[in-house]
Amino acid sequence: MSSFLEVARRTGVSIVERDGVLFWEGSHAGKKKPQGPLAGKRVGLLVASEFSDFQAYYLAEYLSEFGGTPEFLLVDWVTWKWTRPHVKGKGVTGMWDMSVDPIPTISPNRYGFRPLREARPEEYDALVVLGGHSADVMMTENEVICFLQALCERGALVGAIGDGGLTLISAGILQGRRATGSKVVSFFLRRMKAFENAPVVLDGNILTARDTVDTPRFVRWLCRYFDPAFSDERENILRGKRVVIVAGEDFEDVELVVPVLEFLFRGAEVCLGTFQAPVRSRPPLLGLDVVVGNFGVSVPLQEVPRGYYTVVPLGEIAPDDLDLVMIPGAFCPWNCIVAETPLDFLRRAYDAGKVVAGICHAPIALAAAGILEGKKSAGWLACKDAVPIMGGTYSFEWSAVVDGRIVTGRVPDDVPEFMDAMTEALLRSS
C-alpha cells in the first residue's frame, strides 16, 4: 500500500489490491466511517430555506467520512421565506432547490435530519450554521438564537460558514471573538473589530469559515478541534495536477459539486469541460449559456467564484492540457454518448496516458468509448449490462476501483472513496 492509501484507510474503510487492481469495498464503504477524528461526535447542521446547497452536499459527505454523525436541523416553521414552489410537508429548500429532508441522492448512511423544535442542545457536540440566504431567516427566530446560546454556554463548538455568521452575530456569541465570514458578514465584523481575513478562524469554541470554497478546510479544522493530533495529508497533495470534469446537461449535482470543492482543497487545477447536449431536459432561461444539473446546480457554479476554476468547451481542450478527466453521473453520461464528441475526447485522453474516471452512471460512457474492455468497474446498477457487454467486469459491491488508469465509483454516497481513488491513480501516474 502507498503512503496515501494508509491515510485513506485511517477511518476504517477497506482498501485491498488484487492482481494489481485496487478496490474500495466492505460494509463501511459509502457510509459513515467507524473511526476518525469525529467518531462518536454528533454535529448539528442548522438550515432554513435558502441555505447553501454546495455546503450541504459537502458536509453530508465529509463529516461522516471522518466518523461524525451529521444531522440537519430544520428551521421549518418559517413560511414567509419560501420563495419558490415547494412540496407541502417538506421542511426547507436550498438556494438552488436542494432538499435535505431527505437529500434525494445521498442515503441516510451519511446523514440525518429532523426539525429543530424536536432537538435539544445537549444532544450535540457541535453545531454548524450553514451559509446562504437562510441566515436572514434564522437570525429573526428566537428559538434559533436560544438554541445557539445554550450550546455555546455549555462549551460545545459552534460554527458558521459564510453568511451563516450573521446568525452567530444575532446570538451575541461573536462579541469579543475573532471570526471570518462572507462579504455580508465581514461588513459587520469589521465594525465589531472581530474580523480576521482568513479562510478559517478558530477562537475558543467558535469556528468560522469565510465562504463555500473554504468548506473542506472548515471540516478539517473541526476534526482538529476534537482531535488535536489529526492531520490530513490530502491538503495540496495534487498541487500541479490538472483535472477536467465533463459538465454535460443533467449531471448529478453532488457528484460535481463535492469533487470540485475537494479537488481545490487538494491543490488541483480544475476545469469544467462543457459540450452541446442534443437534448436539454432542464433548459435555463433563453439565451443563458449555462449547463444545468439534475437538482438545480448550474455551470458556471453559483457558489464558487470563477477565479477558482475555468469553464472551457470540451472541443477546445487537448489531452496534453490535463492529467485526469472525470465524468459525473445522472444523465451527463447519456448525453456524452448521444453527442459522441465527448466519447472521442475520452479515447484521446486515455490513449495519451491520462487517467479517466467516472462515477455512478458514468462507466456506461467509458464502456461506450471502448476503454473498459478487460477492466474492473464500479458504478450504479444501470451499468450492469453496458460494462460486461463492452468487455469489462462490473460489481455493485465495489465502492471505488482503480484499474490501471481507469477509476470508477459506485454512487453519490461513495464520492469520498472515489476522490481518494482518483487521487491514488494520479499519484501513481506521476
Digit-coded pLDDT (tens) for 10-45: 999 999 999 999 999 999 999 999 999 999 999 999
| pLDDT of 152 higher than 60 | yes
Where does the pLDDT of residue 136 fall: very low under 50, low under 70, confident under 90, or very high at 90 and above? confident
Where are the domains positioned within the chain?
A: 3-30+235-428, 42-226
Tens of pLDDT, residues 335-346: 999 999 999 999
pLDDT at residue 346, as a whole number: 98
DSSP string, 330-361: BTHHHHHHHH-HHHHHHHHHHHTT-EEEEETT
* CA 344 – CA 337 distance, rounded (Å): 10
Evaluate if residue 300 carries a pLDDT over 80.
Answer: yes
Q: Is the dihedral of CA 286, 105, 260, 21 positive or negative?
A: negative
C-alpha cell at 354: 491520462
**Residue type at position 299:** V
**pLDDT at position 202, please?**
98
Domain 3-30+235-428 shares a fold with domain 42-226: yes
pLDDT in the model for residue 284? 64
Distance CA(229)–CA(226), nearest Å, equals: 9
Q: At what angle do helices 253-265 and 215-226 cross, to 10 degrees?
A: 70
- Tens digit of pLDDT for each residue in 390-413? 999 999 999 999 999 999 999 999
Q: Confidence class of residue 78 from pLDDT cuts 50, 70 and 90? A: confident
| Dist CA 307 CA 309 (whole Å) | 6
**Distances in Å between the alpha carbon of 275 and those of 132, 257, 260, 340, 348?**
29, 18, 18, 10, 16
What residues pair up with 161 in beta bridges, in sequence order? 209
pLDDT, one tens digit per residue, over 361-379 is 999 999 999 999 999 999 9
> Please, which residues bridge with residue 313 across strands?
274
Q: What is the pLDDT of residue 92?
A: 87
Q: What CATH superfamily is the domain 42-226?
A: Class I glutamine amidotransferase (GATase) domain (3.40.50.880)
222: its cell numbers = 473541526
Spatial distance between the Cα atoms of 163 and 186, rounded to a whole number of angstroms? 9
**Could you tell me which residues come within 8 angstroms of residue 355 by beta carbon, excluding any fewer than 6 positions away?**
323, 324, 325, 405, 406, 407, 422, 425, 426, 429
- Is 382 within 8 Å of 333 (Cβ atoms)? no
Rounded alpha-carbon distances, angstroms, from residue 282 to 84, 248, 249, 250, 313: 17, 12, 8, 7, 19
Q: What would the DSSP string read from start to end of 212-275? A: GGGHHHHHHHHHHHH-TT---TTTTTTTT-EEEEEE-TTB-HHHHHHHHHHHHHTT-EEEEEE-
CA–CA separation, 99 vs 32, rounded Å?
20
Q: Which CATH class is domain 3-30+235-428?
A: alpha beta
Q: Is the pLDDT of residue 201 over 80?
A: yes
Name every residue whose Cβ is closer than 8 Å to that of residue 118 and which is 6 or more positions away in sequence. none
